[in-house]
Amino acid sequence: MVSREHKRAGLHEKLQLLRSITNSHSMKKASIIVDASKYIEELKQKVERLNQDITAAQTSNNRNPLPM
């Protein structure tokens, strides 16, 4: 059985990892989670923009195929 201290240490380690990934400067759990949520939303927007860029590039290539 995992002790309470091990669980707490594991949670702390995961929060610190989340804090570093999201560039959060806060030490409070709630703030780290809020920062992570904002970071995830930013990533979603980046993915959407990249998908739009890919679609635009594919459309452009379909209109102007390279000569064979």
Whether residue 57 has pLDDT greater than 70: yes
Structural domain including 40 reads 4-63
Q: What's the rounded Cα separation, in Å, for the pair 56 and 20?
A: 34
Residue 24 lies in a domain: yes
Q: What percent of the chain stands above pLDDT 90?
A: 76
- Burial class of residue 48 (count of CB atoms within 10 Å of its CB; 0-12, 13-18, 19+): exposed
| Amino acid making up residue 6 | H
If you average pLDDT over every residue of the chain, what do you get? 90
Q: 28 by DSSP, 3-state: which? A: coil
* 68 within some domain: no
**pTM, to two decimals:** 0.74
pLDDT of residue 66: 64
| Domains in the chain, number | 1
Asked if the structure places residue 22 within a domain, the reply is yes
Residue 58 domain-assigned (yes or no) = yes
Residue 38, domain member (yes or no): yes
Average pLDDT for 24-48: 95
Residue 62 has pLDDT above 90, yes or no: no
